[in-house]
């Protein structure tokens, strides 16, 4: 299986969506088209699958294996693939990690195990990540949730994890707190073995990037990977005028995608791709439900405002 050796997670990493047929089976043809479309974006460094954006919580182990196989077949020769590890127990997480490594993934994105508040037990956090690291030789991205959820990792725990588990090479930072976010950027990216901070604060992306993140990993990239890549490059070259102009285009999509309830964010992105003619349908697996006409109209208006959809399409 192709693997991009020595890949260190950085830069713009879109997290793609997973199309379904009306019977809720995976729409493999549409998924292949979606992968090719996103992978063709200039300036991205990898693509993420088997994550929130692909409704991983609703996918079986075998479906996750199939998603990775399709991604490898379509884009594995061109781009590293980041494979999410979503499991409530460490044994299953390690099994998924081993499968991902054997199937050619280049990096793992490890979600916190939902039933356990690892922030209250550094020992549990270390044991969980060590078991995953022992199962493969792949680099790990730690998904850092907001501390208020009970699933984020406090400063000292996160620092200990990074020091004791060399496989940890980045965090996907969803701290949701600007001082904490800036602290993690300054602290982790300055370690003797630097750990990159990949922002996922897509609702305030420009503000996040100017703090110095070494990348971004976001489901919005399934729709606006080109704008994200352009924004990241503008910030990297300190071109504030260009960055603000790009952010003005991104803002309408962020406003509509990340409205309450947040659980519908990727549902909204699917509807956006249907409106843009990039997906044939916006089917989601339960407990997610189809969006109503009023919300789809708001998504259409946001795409028009962002310059992604012709104004004539507003009434289509």
CB of 142 closer than 8 Å to CB of 153: yes
Asked whether residue 313 carries a pLDDT value surpassing 80, the answer given is no
Query: Measured at the alpha carbon of residue 98, what is the angle toward residues 95 and 103, in degrees to the nearest 5?
Result: 125
Mean pLDDT of 4-11: 89
Burial class (CB in 10 A: 0-12, 13-18, 19+), 267: buried
Mean pLDDT of 79-107: 97
Mean pLDDT of 178-202: 98
Give CA–CA dist 173/234, Å, rounded: 21
| CATH code for the part of the protein at 11-237 | 3.20.20.70
Q: For residue 316, what pLDDT is reported?
A: 47
CB of 306 closer than 8 Å to CB of 253: yes
- For the chain, the distance separating the N- and C-terminal CA atoms, rounded to the nearest angstrom, is 44
pLDDT tens, position by position, 259-295: 999 899 999 999 999 999 999 999 999 999 999 999 9
Give CA–CA dist 219/221, Å, rounded: 5
Mean pLDDT of 1-29: 92
29's CB contacts (< 8 A; 6+ apart) are none
Give CA–CA dist 258/272, Å, rounded: 13
**106: number of Cβ within 10 Å:** 24
pLDDT tier for residue 314 given thresholds of 50, 70 and 90: very low
pLDDT tier for residue 238 given thresholds of 50, 70 and 90: very high
Could you tell me the CA-to-CA distances from 38 to 19, 22, 31, 33, 273 in Å, in that order? 14, 23, 11, 9, 11
Mean pLDDT of 13-31: 98
User: Residues of the chain with pLDDT > 70: what percent?
Assistant: 96
CB of 276 closer than 8 Å to CB of 223: yes
User: Residues of the chain with pLDDT > 90: what percent?
Assistant: 90
pTM of structure: 0.95
CB of 34 closer than 8 Å to CB of 278: yes
pLDDT, mean over the chain: 95
Q: For residue 89, what pLDDT is reported?
A: 93
Q: How many residues does the chain have?
A: 316
289's CB contacts (< 8 A; 6+ apart) are none
Give domain limits for the chain.
11-237
Could you give the angle at which helices 122-135 and 90-102 cross, rounded to 10 degrees?
30
Give CA–CA dist 299/316, Å, rounded: 13
The residue among 2 and 202 whose pLDDT is bigger is 202
Asked whether residue 118 carries a pLDDT value surpassing 90, the answer given is no
Mean pLDDT of 70-82: 97
CA-based nearest residue to 46, from 110, 108, 99: 108
Q: For residue 56, what pLDDT is reported?
A: 97
Q: For residue 75, what pLDDT is reported?
A: 97
pLDDT tier for residue 202 given thresholds of 50, 70 and 90: very high
CA-based nearest residue to 244, from 217, 211, 207: 207
Could you tell me the CA-to-CA distances from 221 to 41, 112, 305 in Å, in that order? 10, 22, 18
């Amino acid at each position: 299986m192709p693997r991009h050796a020595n890949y260190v997670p950085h830069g713009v990493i879109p997290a793609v969506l997973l199309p379904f047929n009306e019977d809720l089976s995976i729409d493999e043809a549409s998924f292949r088209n979606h992968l090719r479309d996103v992978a063709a974006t200039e300036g991205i460094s990898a693509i993420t699958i088997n994550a929130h954006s692909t409704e991983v919580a609703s996918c079986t182990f075998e479906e996750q294996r199939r998603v990775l196989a399709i991604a490898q077949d379509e884009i594995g020769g061109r781009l590293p693939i980041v494979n999410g590890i979503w499991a409530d127990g460490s044994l299953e997480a390690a099994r998924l990690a081993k499968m991902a490594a054997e199937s050619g993934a280049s990096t793992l994105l490890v979600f916190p195990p939902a039933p356990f508040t690892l922030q209250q037990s550094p020992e549990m956090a270390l044991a969980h990540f060590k078991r995953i690291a022992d199962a493969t030789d792949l680099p790990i991205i730690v998904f850092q949730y907001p501390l208020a959820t009970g699933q984020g990792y406090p400063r000292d725990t996160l620092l200990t994890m990074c020091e004791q588990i060399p496989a940890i090479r980045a965090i996907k930072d969803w701290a949701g707190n600007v001082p904490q976010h800036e602290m993690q950027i300054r602290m982790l990216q300055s370690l003797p073995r630097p750990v990159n901070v990949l922002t996922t604060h897509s609702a305030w992306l420009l503000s996040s990037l100017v703090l110095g993140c070494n990348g971004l990993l976001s489901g919005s990239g399934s729709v606006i990977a080109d704008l994200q890549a352009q924004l990241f490059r503008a910030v990297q070259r300190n071109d504030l005028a260009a960055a603000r102009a790009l952010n003005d285009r991104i803002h309408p999509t962020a406003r509509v995608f990340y409205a309450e309830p947040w659980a519908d964010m990727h549902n909204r992105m699917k509807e956006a791709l249907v409106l843009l003619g990039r997906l044939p349908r916006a089917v989601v697996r339960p407990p997610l439900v189809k969006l109503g006409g009023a919300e789809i109209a708001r998504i259409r208006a946001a795409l028009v405002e962002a310059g992604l959809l012709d104004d004539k399409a507003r009434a289509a």
